[in-house]
Amino acid sequence: MTPGTTTTDGAVCAACGERGEPGDRFCEGCGAALPATEGPPPAEREGTRARPVTARASSPTPASPESPGPDADVPQQTDDHDPGHAAVGRPCASCGEGTIADDGFCDDCGRPAPDATGSAGGPATAAQVMASDPGDLGYDPDDRDHAERSVEGAAAITDVGRLRAANEDAFGLDRLPLAEGGPDLVVGVVCDGVASVPGSAAASAVACATVLATARDAVAHPDPADPDLADTGGVDLTELAYVCADAAVDAVSALAHAGRDSPACTYVSSLVVGDVLVVSWIGDSRAYWLVPDEPEHSCVLTTDDSWAAEAVAVGLLDPETAYADRRAHAITRWVAADGPPGPAHVVAHAADRPGVLLICSDGLWNHIPDAADLARLVHDDGLPATAEAMLEAALDDGGTDNTTLVVVDVAGEGIPA
């Protein structure tokens, strides 16, 4: 048994009284941290695909033989070298609300204390992690209080909001030309860093950059001989969705270090070619299909991996009661080395009319959850204006969280992209 753990029984949550499974680190009922218990060794993620059949995409930054992976035995810091040791008991300089605990991290926001030179210990910054250039996000991942990006037919925006000290969301957006002069592939991704775990701002940025790099690699290796892929330039979009998600999980898992909670984020991505759209997700970041001319025909394309969504799905509670519960937003799946195993959710659609695909973090949908209301925010002046309008709506409603979204124009069936 690992030193410091309890028996093989699951721990009882001090906040809500629910007993977890052996090895659980957080309560599935309310999301509170649990005392350490010994659990089974992590299983391989069944059903995932290391490479697609047709696109031949691969993770852009394979670990070198000299680099320890997420399961490597990494030596832990001692108190003599712990950058947070001297700051124990002091107010947190990052959030101003919490106090630096014995492990050198704030007991409220989870960020590390600065060391004697003023630099933060613990997890590396997003820019440091991405120094090997796994992909260009188009903005500085360590300066994202507000960032915007647009390409033809798509726009993205992220904002720290009104209450959070830092923005741990990230987005990726690119438009990639396909073979044979067909319509381009528009790739979008939004990741929401788990604020209670240090290093999650880096996790969200690395996940987004990895998805873009993986998609670029897939486009560079199409299979034009496959007649079933003629409309998507020789790229199997559904398979690529799985590969992008797997690559993001692997990249974020590589940030983990022994003795610390694993950096984590939620994940939602979109792949759009003409009237074909493929969405994949892990966690409670969402995708919406918006029909501005007929808002009532708009809908949510994803199902949240959360306590509330699962309580509704099994008939335990009605939606209004479930989402009013204090446990509502406790996520049941996330991207991390210690995340629950299994492939990403993937859905594919063919649009029967023009519309807008929206992917977003819960910083948007917590404030504007209804698809029809979001469709009414689609702006006549274009998608950058639409992204701005959606952000402003979230801020006007309180801006209680980081808010990040990507919007993509989708041509209906038979309409040129």
Segment 369-407, tens digit of pLDDT: 999 999 999 999 999 999 999 999 999 999 999 999 999
> Which segment of 33-42, 181-190, 296-305 scores lowest on mean pLDDT?
33-42
Residue with token string 């989870």: 110
Instruction: Compute the average pLDDT of residues 166-191.
Output: 93
Architecture category of domain 126-410 in CATH: 4-Layer Sandwich (3.60)
pLDDT computed for residue 341 by the predictor: 92
pLDDT tens digits, one per residue of 230-254: 889 899 999 999 999 999 999 999 9
Q: Would the pLDDT of 43 be above 80?
A: no
One DSSP character per residue, 112-173 reads BPB-TTS-B-SSPPHHHHGGG-S---SS-TT--SEEEEEETTEEEEEE-TTT-SS--EEEEE
**Neighbouring residues of 392: CB distance < 8 A, sequence distance ≥ 6:** none
Q: Are 354 and 292 in contact (CB under 8 A)?
A: no
> Which segment of 109-118, 125-134, 167-176, 199-208 scores lowest on mean pLDDT?
109-118
Residue range(s) of every CATH 3.60.40.10 domain in the chain? 126-410
pLDDT computed for residue 199 by the predictor: 92
Instruction: Compute the average pLDDT of residues 213-217.
Output: 95
pTM beyond 0.85, yes or no: no
pLDDT computed for residue 6 by the predictor: 42
